[in-house]
Structure 1
């Protein structure tokens, strides 16, 4: 369990992020066409997990835009933008914003994702939603970087995530 804040108010996650060097837990999430996708579908590629509460908030939307822009120049890398938003809301946002390089996916059907990745909020105003976090997984399926953003209203450290990614390629 870790503590984060939302507007300065403390909130706890249900567990900790997967540790660097650990095999990333597999998952099944829902794409905007309602099909399922798993981490194992991207075996042999680097995967950036951009995890956040809702695409309908300003900072979450910024992180999707930022990862989408940076993903355009990455080889052998997939960016998954993960929230509990319904796939319809994700599709609407990504269509309006021209998001083409990042894949929006939802864990609305799969509560185990938030528990296994330690991002589900256990209390506070966003209880049940994902905390803001980034996890970078190398082509061998190992976690090479993780960040649980201490204040949910702040953006993640993009530079450190992309440095960890480049160090593995």
Structure 2
């Protein structure tokens, strides 16, 4: 299967250190994260032919997805609002030519594959993603590594709440 072949190529890149390294993670944390991602991805790959809806995203001259990613994000949010799960994957980039050939994409006209979205009804836990670092730890404002200006100590909408709790830093004098 084409998707499985692409996934094997991606994991070869990860194993070789060409992909997936986050400078803030220690080796044990990275190994745990990759194992969790791999389990999820293995399930996705094993059940690929059962996915109810696949949306292949193509664009012409899109400068890194600036025009198409807002539409992708809106699609994922709209699906979630209806109780449908969605995931974006770019793993088919390893065989983009074969995907374009298979789908009859006019690449001579400048069309290129950006991503694939998979939609379906979620199994298991469905909620706020776990093990995420707070936004103020991974964001800066105005300058690299400058204070974000706000602390978000918990998810913006924890289960069972209606609003967000954000602690703003006082303005610099």
Alignment TM-score, normalising by the size of structure 2: 0.34
Alignment TM-score, normalising by the size of structure 1: 0.35
Greater fraction helix: 2
Structure of greater Rg: 2
Q: Which has the higher contact order (CA 8 A, sep 6+)?
A: 1
